[in-house]
Amino acid sequence: MKIQAMLLAGMLLGGCGTIQTVARDDQAAIDGLKQQKSYCGAVPRIYSGLAYDFCSLNAPLASGVDADNHRNTAIPGLLVDAVVSGALDTLLLPYTIYRQQVDGSIVIN
């Protein structure tokens, strides 16, 4: 049971919106949203994990046979990630406010 919990935590942190936008290079977040074909033009650094998750939701459905099934399985995962990202974003708020002032939003071209 502990191994399953550790694997779940690792998967959540690996795909966590906050990790994608705060801990990694800006280009990684840009590439991730471009790959998903998100309609977002920019992600603010303040609460960037939540914004990244909402941008992931603001992307077209995957094409193919399992497009309906993909959305049904992706939404619960994104909702769990949004809760985790919200908590991490709140803890990192002083840092992200500073980064917003210095660097501005993460622009997706």
Give tens-digit pLDDT for 74-107. 677 788 888 989 999 999 999 999 999 999 999 9
What pLDDT does residue 65 have?
Answer: 47
Is 56 buried (19+), middle (13-18) or exposed (0-12) by CB count in 10 A?
buried
**Reported confidence tier of residue 13, pLDDT bands at 50, 70, 90:** low
* Residue burial 77-108, b: 16+ Cβ < 10 Å; e: rest: eeeebbebbbebbeebeeebeebbeeeebbeb
**Reported confidence tier of residue 4, pLDDT bands at 50, 70, 90:** low
Question: What would the pLDDT profile of 43-77 be if each residue is shown by its tens digit?
Answer: 999 999 999 999 988 888 765 545 555 555 567 77
Claim: this prediction has a pTM higher than 0.75: yes
What pLDDT does residue 59 have?
Answer: 84
Question: Do 49 and 89 contact (CB within 8 A), yes or no?
Answer: yes
What pLDDT does residue 26 have?
Answer: 94
